[in-house]
Structure formats: structure tokens, C-alpha cells
């Protein structure tokens, strides 16, 4: 074991267990490219400001080129005893360029360095996740287009409520995920300030230019308070909160896929690529991917809760607790990405069963509201009275074991003598869904309009 980089005041090296608990390399090596970008910007600025020489900066930049190549081609010699990616990169730079490497850390601390890297990483991850959401939306919109006129039961309390169209149902998820998309981009905008130059916690006496490094790294501006810069992790917290909400939407859709794939519902069937079998029951076709999306949504919420717990009672400024922020954040993004990709694949390929959906929609007196509305419109009944009359008709139908549409005109007139033959026109599920043309309503015409707008927004034409 060699000397640690703080070895100046230490006589002994850390115990193995100390090294193990302290090392973050296995996690934060994923920020290697961000670390190099941050160091490049910092060194350029130091040389621009005359804090290091032009030649030292040239050497540092050339050395970082090589480090980056080694990282990319897999030859970089990682050393866990150096704790994290920051020390690994700097130590390797020293091996390559010698003395100038020692000047790179002037006016910088790992405290501002790590959170600069972390913000850069999170910014990119948010962008990537938002793109994946866009892909899922595309899949949903195309299936909605295909099923703009497919009738299915709409539920409240999981009891049949009114007929809706499958296209409308799928577009509900497009709306939800579009808010998720904007939440992620809000997070990316808000996090986009540079902590670099905050140094350990108090700023530095060197004449640095924080605007210059902020701009080089694509940040909108430097953070205004050095203590805040090194301590704040709300950018990660809100990103995980946004992921957790987005995953909640995926989970609701996953739950519907599970329900719809059951023999009892039989509204849909996942294809072979998105199902698993049972080792004992040959007939089984299990929706495992959907179930896992459902479970993983909660894991993401757990990563959020873990990070919130790590941060909530930390006095300012940096404490090592903040090292575990990356583990949680990376896990949350990885989990989310997998869930979105699985959901996109399922939606692209799932086979809907329109006949079964239609048959289910016709059960459970789903057009009772249409009947009540007809009584209001055609006979001028107040809605409350129409509701009551319809309730009685449902009771009659239930008693006879038939659907509303199967009652005779005589049955109907016994309950209300004003009812005419024309009532039967509104009792089909198609008529019911088609009549709901209010803005945002379920009628196939409205769904087609929304599909067209979404295709345009998503660039699907
Ligand atoms: N590996 C550390 C982290 O991820 C880097 C910052 C270390 N700073 C310190 N003062 N020990 O947080």
C-alpha cells in the first residue's frame, strides 16, 4: 500500500476495512468523463488567470487526453486505495505528466469537484431519461391511433362505469408521462449552476474566474454561495422525486397490463418476448416484466427516501455522508431506465383483444348514464329524477338477468311511460362512447384529434 494523498500528517496507512468503507471508486468511476471535463475547464481557467503557467496547462490537457483514452479503451489502471475517481484521475495524470499534475488542484477541493461532476452526470442522466420517456410516449400514441375506436369498459372503483375507447385510455398515460418529461427537464434547468470554485467550503483567495468554468461546462452561472455549492443535494433529491413520480405512472400502467392479461379480464396478451412461463404449470404466461416495473417503482421511491435521510440532518458543509448520494442516484436512474425500456417494449407489442373489451364494456349496465341523459334531453326530466328512473330500470334489468338494451319497450314504459323506441339508439356502447365529444372526452373523433396533435409534438410524422 502506498501513501495516501493526505499522507503528510499521517504515520500509518488506513486499515483494510477503513479503506473498504471509505472507497467510492466502484460507484463514482461512472463520473470519469465528467471529472475530466471539470479538470479541463478548471486548468484552462487557472492558466487564463495566470495562476498556473501556460506550459503546465498544456501538459495537463495533453495528459488528460491520454487519461480519457485509457478510460475509454479500458486500460486505465484503477486503484481502489486511492478512494475515488477524482484521486484516481489525478494520480494517473501525475504518472503521465509529472509535476504539472500537482498544480491542477490549486484553488479547488474535492468537495466542489465531486459535486460539479455529479451535477454534470445528473444533467445528462435527466436528459437521457426524458428521451426514453419520449420513446414510450411514441409507442403509446401509435397504439392509441390504432385503437382510437376500440371500445372498452371505463372503470371507477374497478367497477364498470362507462364505455371508453382504448385509444383514450392509452393517451391518458401520454399526458401523465408528458408531465414527467417536463418535471425532469425542470430539474435539469434548476441544477444547471456551477459549484466549481467553491473550493472546500469557503471559496478561495486565488483570483479564479468562476464564470469562465461555469460557461465551459455548460452551466448557466456559478452558484452564488460556496457553502451551498458544496452542501446542496436538492438537485439529486428532486431528480429522484421526479423519477419516483414518473415510475409511479409506469407502475399504474404495469398494473393494468397485469390485470388485462389475466384470464378473467382477457383484454390483452403479452407476446412471448415479454412473458415468462411457469416451471410447473404449462399453461402459464406470466407478465413478469410488468410486475417488476410495478415493484421497481417503489425501489426508486426508496432511493429517494434513502438520499433524503442521508441529507436531512447534515450540518453544513460537506460530510462524507454525501459520498453515498451517487450510489442512490445512479441506482435510481438505472432502475428507471430499465423500467421505461421494458414498458416501451411491452406497449409496442402487446396484443389487445377488442372483442373481449367490447363485450366487457357492454356488461354492468355501462350505458345507464346515457339512458339518464336521454331522459333529460328528450323528456325534459331533471337529471336527479332521470337518475332515479334509470336506477329503477337497472333494477328491472338486473331482476330479469338482462342488459338495459335487452329490456322491451313495455318494460321501460312501465317505469316511465314517456320512454319511446328511440331510447334504444343510445344504449349501445358505440353510441355511448361516440357521444362523449366534449373537449378531452373519449369519443373516437376526439381521440383521433389528440393522436394527431401528439404525433406532431413528438415528431412522429
Ligand atoms: N469521494 C468523495 C465523495 O464522493 C469525494 C469528496 C471527498 N471530500 C472530502 N472532504 N473527503 O463525496
- pLDDT tens digits, one per residue of 85-98: 999 999 999 999 99
What ipTM did this prediction achieve? 0.96
Which CATH architecture fits 111-151+161-359?
Up-down Bundle (1.20)
Average pLDDT over residues 266-282: 89
Q: Residue 280 — pLDDT band, cuts 50, 70, 90?
A: confident
* Ligand 1, atom 4: closest residue by C-alpha: 323
Match domain 14-106 to its CATH number in 1.10.275.10, 1.10.1740.10, 3.40.640.10, 3.60.21.10. Answer: 1.10.275.10
Residues 22, 8: Cα–Cα separation, whole Å: 19
In the chain, where the domains are located = 14-106, 111-151+161-359, 362-457
24 lines ligand 1 (CB under 6 A): yes
Statement: 362-457 belongs to CATH 3.30.360.10: no
* pLDDT surpassing 80 at residue 2: no
114 lines ligand 1 (CB under 6 A): yes
35 lines ligand 1 (CB under 6 A): no
Common-topology check for domains 14-106 and 111-151+161-359: no
* pLDDT surpassing 90 at residue 12: no
Q: Residue 461 — pLDDT band, cuts 50, 70, 90?
A: confident
- pLDDT tens digits, one per residue of 324-355: 999 999 999 999 999 999 999 999 999 999 99
Average pLDDT over residues 405-414: 94
Q: Which of 262, 278, 298, 392 is catalytic?
A: 278
* Ligand 1, atom 2: closest residue by C-alpha: 323
pLDDT at 214: 98
121 lines ligand 1 (CB under 6 A): no
pLDDT at 359: 95
* pLDDT surpassing 90 at residue 105: yes
Would you call 278 a catalytic residue per the annotation? Answer: yes
For residue 23, the CA-to-ligand 1 centroid distance in Å is: 10
For residue 233, the CA-to-ligand 1 centroid distance in Å is: 14
12 is written with which cell numbers? Answer: 500509518
Amino acid at each position: 500500500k502506498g501513501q495516501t494523498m493526505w499522507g503528510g500528517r499521517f504515520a500509518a496507512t488506513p486499515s483494510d476495512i477503513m479503506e473498504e468503507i471509505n472507497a467510492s471508486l466502484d460507484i463514482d468511476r461512472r463520473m470519469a468523463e465528467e471529472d475530466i471535463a471539470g479538470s479541463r475547464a478548471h486548468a484552462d481557467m487557472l492558466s487564463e488567470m495566470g495562476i498556473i503557467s501556460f506550459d503546465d496547462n498544456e501538459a495537463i490537457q495533453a495528459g488528460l487526453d491520454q487519461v480519457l483514452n485509457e478510460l475509454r479503451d479500458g486500460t486505465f489502471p484503477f486503484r481502489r486505495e486511492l478512494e475515488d475517481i477524482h484521486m484516481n484521475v489525478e494520480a494517473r495524470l501525475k504518472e503521465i505528466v509529472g509535476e504539472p499534475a500537482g498544480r491542477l488542484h490549486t484553488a479547488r477541493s474535492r468537495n466542489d469537484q465531486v459535486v460539479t461532476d455529479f451535477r454534470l452526470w445528473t444533467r445528462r442522466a435527466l436528459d437521457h431519461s426524458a428521451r426514453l420517456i419520449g420513446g414510450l410516449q411514441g409507442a403509446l400514441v401509435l397504439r392509441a391511433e390504432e385503437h382510437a375506436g376500440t371500445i372498452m369498459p371505463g372503470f371507477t372503483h374497478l367497477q364498470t362505469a362507462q364505455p371508453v375507447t382504448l385509444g383514450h385510455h392509452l393517451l391518458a398515460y401520454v399526458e401523465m408521462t408528458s408531465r414527467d418529461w417536463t418535471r425532469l427537464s425542470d430539474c435539469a434547468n434548476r441544477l444547471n449552476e456551477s459549484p466549481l470554485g467553491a473550493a472546500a467550503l469557503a471559496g478561495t483567495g486565488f483570483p479564479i474566474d468562476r464564470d469562465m468554468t461555469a460557461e465551459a461546462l455548460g452551466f448557466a452561472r456559478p452558484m452564488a454561495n460556496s457553502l451551498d455549492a458544496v452542501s446542496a443535494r436538492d438537485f439529486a433529491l428532486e431528480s429522484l422525486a421526479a423519477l419516483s413520480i414518473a415510475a409511479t405512472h409506469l407502475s399504474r400502467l404495469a398494473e393494468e397490463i397485469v390485470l388485462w392479461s389475466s384470464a378473467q379480464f382477457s383484454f390483452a396478451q403479452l407476446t412471448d418476448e415479454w412473458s415468462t412461463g411457469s416451471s410447473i404449470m404449462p399453461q402459464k404466461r406470466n407478465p413478469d416484466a410488468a410486475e417488476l416495473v410495478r415493484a421497481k417503482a417503489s425501489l426508486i421511491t426508496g432511493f429517494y427516501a434513502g438520499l433524503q435521510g442521508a441529507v436531512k440532518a447534515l450540518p453544513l458543509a460537506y460530510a462524507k455522508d454525501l459520498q453515498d448520494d451517487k450510489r442512490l442516484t445512479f441506482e435510481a436512474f438505472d432502475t428507471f431506465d430499465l423500467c421505461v425500456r421494458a414498458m416501451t417494449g411491452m406497449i409496442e407489442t402487446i396484443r389487445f383483444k377488442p372483442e373481449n373489451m367490447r363485450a366487457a364494456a357492454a356488461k354492468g349496465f355501462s350505458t345507464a348514464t346515457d339512458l339518464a341523459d336521454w331522459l333529460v334531453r328528450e323528456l325534459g326530466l331533471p337529471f336527479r329524477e332521470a337518475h332515479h328512473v334509470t336506477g329503477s330500470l337497472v333494477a328491472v334489468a338486473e331482476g330479469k338477468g338482462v342488459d338495459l338494451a335487452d329490456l322491451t319497450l313495455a318494460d321501460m314504459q312501465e317505469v316511465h311511460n314517456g320512454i319511446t323506441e328511440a331510447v334504444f339508439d343510445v344504449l349501445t356502447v358505440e353510441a355511448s362512447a361516440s357521444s362523449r365529444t366534449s373537449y378531452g372526452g373519449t369519443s373516437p373523433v376526439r381521440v383521433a384529434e389528440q393522436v394527431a396533435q401528439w404525433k406532431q409534438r413528438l415528431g412522429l410524422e
